[in-house]
Structure 1
Amino acid sequence: MDWELRHIRCLIAIAETGTLTDAGLALGLSQAQVSRTLRALEAAWGVVLVRRQAREAVLTEEGQAAVVRGRHLLEIAGRLDAQMSGQRSLRLGYAWAAAGRHTVALQRGWDREQPGIDLALVRVNGASAGLAEGLVDAALVRTAPDARRYESVPVGVERRVAAFAADDPWASRSRVRMKDFAGRRLLVDTRAGTTNLQLWPAGAGPAGVLEVADIDGWLDALAAGRAVGISSEATAQQHRRQGVRYRVIADAPPLQVRLAWHRGEAVPGLEALCGLLRRLYGWSGYDA
């Protein structure tokens, strides 16, 4: 493996600035040094990462993929460096909404009770909210994670809400029921969402789905009236958008919020985090 982190930093700088010259300015290198570093990385991998054009540098498909993975790699390297140098931190991932209305209280309570460990909230759209990518130490998830890879405990329960455009006929209602989705088009995030057609009996649910990539795409589609959505009340509490309305779904099954982490891994402050979350949510159920 004939490349180093400096090669990755160089590629990311090119992607962010758009030219080799500007990448050099950002990194404190000459344009020639940036060019040599890029060529060395391309030679090591045997692919073209950047196509040099007259006034810009355009990433190839392989270059774009390398930048995405490279950012993850630099993040992990930074965390390792901080840990080895004695800095204590706990990175808590989430996909759409952290702890909903409890998010501010979570951060303030943590700073008060655990001043020696920095708590960082990290949004990563994915089923494991960053655990699978190694970007976080623990994650708040609303679907049960793979028990072979992750340990998890419940910390709270949230209601499901319907989401729709402000001028939708549902806007005049105080509540929505699951049967009301029949014949409507449903927004679904296949990577991190908690909603799918299995929530309804066969033939009784929405007429079809419109897939979105993340919470921002979900909100944009809602505001435009392209479809309706279902999410946890935490989404409604943390993502208020002009043109979007939320209503509690009276008969929807609730969502269990779980704290998850890599199986067998010791996470500093994890027990304290679990306790704080349970107090905020008022959890009094079982650990299973």
Structure 2
Amino acid sequence: MPTALPLCSAGMSGPHALHSLELRHLRCFLAIAEEGNVTRAAARLRLTQPAVSRTLAALEDALGVRLVDRSTHHLALTPEGRAFQESATAAVAAFEDALDSVRTVRRPLRVGHAWSAAGPYTTPLLRRWRERHPDVPLELLRIDDRTAGLTRGAVDVALLRGPVDAPGLVTELLYTESRVAAVPSDSPLSARAELALADLSAHTIALNPVSGSTALDLWPPADRPTATIIVANTDDWLAAIAGDRAVGVTTTATPGMHPHPGVVYVPLTDAPDLPVVLAWRDGPRHPAVRDLVTLAHEVVPPDATRPTGPTKPTRPRG
């Protein structure tokens, strides 16, 4: 077993330092790379910010290269860091697969999602999986990061929305979802049958850069909102809208999965549909991943890539 490298170690470059590295150093780097922020990475790993910074420094010292550019306000990977991200992702996945090869009991298939899972197809998928594969439990895990825990090995496969550009992942389109505006229930916008993106431009927009699918470039430059608030997860996003601090944009899956008495969902007429994909790591993987992909295509109707937005606002019950 390699000797543990204390979190506060630094300046130990060379072969001996490489032998001292552990899986936690890779997981720490991957969290930083995906979050683009040490504070968010620390929260995700349940560590302090200084501990994460020291772990990253120890990894860089051992490798003898700078992986993260700290010279700008927004943390970014160096070219070496981008190359190492792909290798580190594969290494973490290989570790998980090595454990699987000697387990006497098949471990659960862990399916990650950041929000809304597979929308209206979630329950049918879970129930049918239990009928077809009773020997392999399926665990649906909500993980608030860009790949729902996939790149750091927390899950085996993930339901993701929007483009997926993380290295080392394979994706398969399941269906598309129409976009809706989320507005306070007492807002004049909530009485509208439909909205356009321009109707939201004068309002503060709630954005979730951690796991959300909306960014300001959704709007044409001439109609781009100038005021935003940043939230870290779906619960905070809903609270900001219900509290009349902002409005938001989401997909048709959210009204069913996240109803809120203070939020009304109104169809957007000019926002592009959002793809929903299953993603998994390229290379060794949980043996049941392909079974899940096959079953998901059975559950999702063939015409589900067509716009499926509601024809009228989705209002809270009661």
Could you tell me the TM-score, scaled by structure 2's length? 0.64
Instruction: After TM superposition, give the deviation of residue 251 of structure 1 in Å.
Output: 2.4
Aligned residue type for 2:208: D
Instruction: After TM superposition, give the deviation of residue 175 of structure 1 in Å.
Output: 1.7
Q: Distance in 2 between matches of 1:245 and 1:285?
A: 24
Q: Distance in 2 between matches of 1:257 and 1:147?
A: 15
The residue that corresponds to 2:270 in the other structure is: 251
The residue that corresponds to 2:300 in the other structure is: 281
CA RMSD of aligned residues (A): 2.9
The residue that corresponds to 1:176 in the other structure is: 195
The residue that corresponds to 1:199 in the other structure is: 218
Match of 1:126 among 111, 128, 145: 145
Instruction: After TM superposition, give the deviation of residue 271 of structure 1 in Å.
Output: 2.3
Could you tell me the TM-score, scaled by structure 1's length? 0.71
Q: Distance in 2 between matches of 1:259 and 1:283?
A: 16
Instruction: After TM superposition, give the deviation of residue 143 of structure 1 in Å.
Output: 2.0
Q: Distance in 2 between matches of 1:279 and 1:103?
A: 13
Q: Is this contact kept in 1: 2:176–2:304, CA < 8 A?
A: no
Q: Give the direction of change, closer, same or farther, for the CA distance of 1:183–1:60 in structure 2 (3 Å limit).
A: closer
Aligned residue type for 2:126: Q
The residue that corresponds to 2:125 in the other structure is: 106
Q: Structure 2: which 5+ residue stretches go unaligned?
A: 10-46, 55-91, 306-318
The residue that corresponds to 1:94 in the other structure is: 113
Q: Structure 1: which 5+ residue stretches go unaligned?
A: 4-40, 48-58, 67-72
Work out which of the two has the higher radius of gyration on C-alpha atoms and give 1 or 2: 1
Instruction: After TM superposition, give the deviation of residue 241 of structure 1 in Å.
Output: 1.6
Q: Give the direction of change, closer, same or farther, for the CA distance of 1:60–1:213 in structure 2 (3 Å limit).
A: closer
Runs of 4+ in structure 1 over 3 Å off: 44-47, 59-66, 79-83, 283-286
Counterpart secondary structure, 1:203: helix
Q: Is this contact kept in 2: 1:142–1:258, CA < 8 A?
A: yes
Number of aligned residues: 229
The residue that corresponds to 2:256 in the other structure is: 237
Q: Is this contact kept in 1: 2:100–2:107, CA < 8 A?
A: no
Match of 2:163 among 144, 149, 153: 144
Q: Give the direction of change, closer, same or farther, for the CA distance of 1:244–1:83 in structure 2 (3 Å limit).
A: farther
Counterpart secondary structure, 2:239: helix
CA offsets, 1:163-212, max 9 Å, x none? 11111111112222222112111111112111011112112122322111
Q: Give the direction of change, closer, same or farther, for the CA distance of 1:267–1:223 in structure 2 (3 Å limit).
A: same
Match of 1:158 among 165, 174, 177: 177
Q: Give the direction of change, closer, same or farther, for the CA distance of 1:181–1:121 in structure 2 (3 Å limit).
A: same
The structure where strand makes up a greater share of residues is: 1
Q: Distance in 2 between matches of 1:64 and 1:131?
A: 20
Q: Distance in 2 between matches of 1:97 and 1:173?
A: 25
Q: Sequence identity, in percent?
A: 34
CA offsets, 1:46-88, max 9 Å, x none? 48xxxxxxxxxxx96546999xxxxxx9xx98x9479623223
Q: Distance in 2 between matches of 1:218 and 1:174?
A: 23
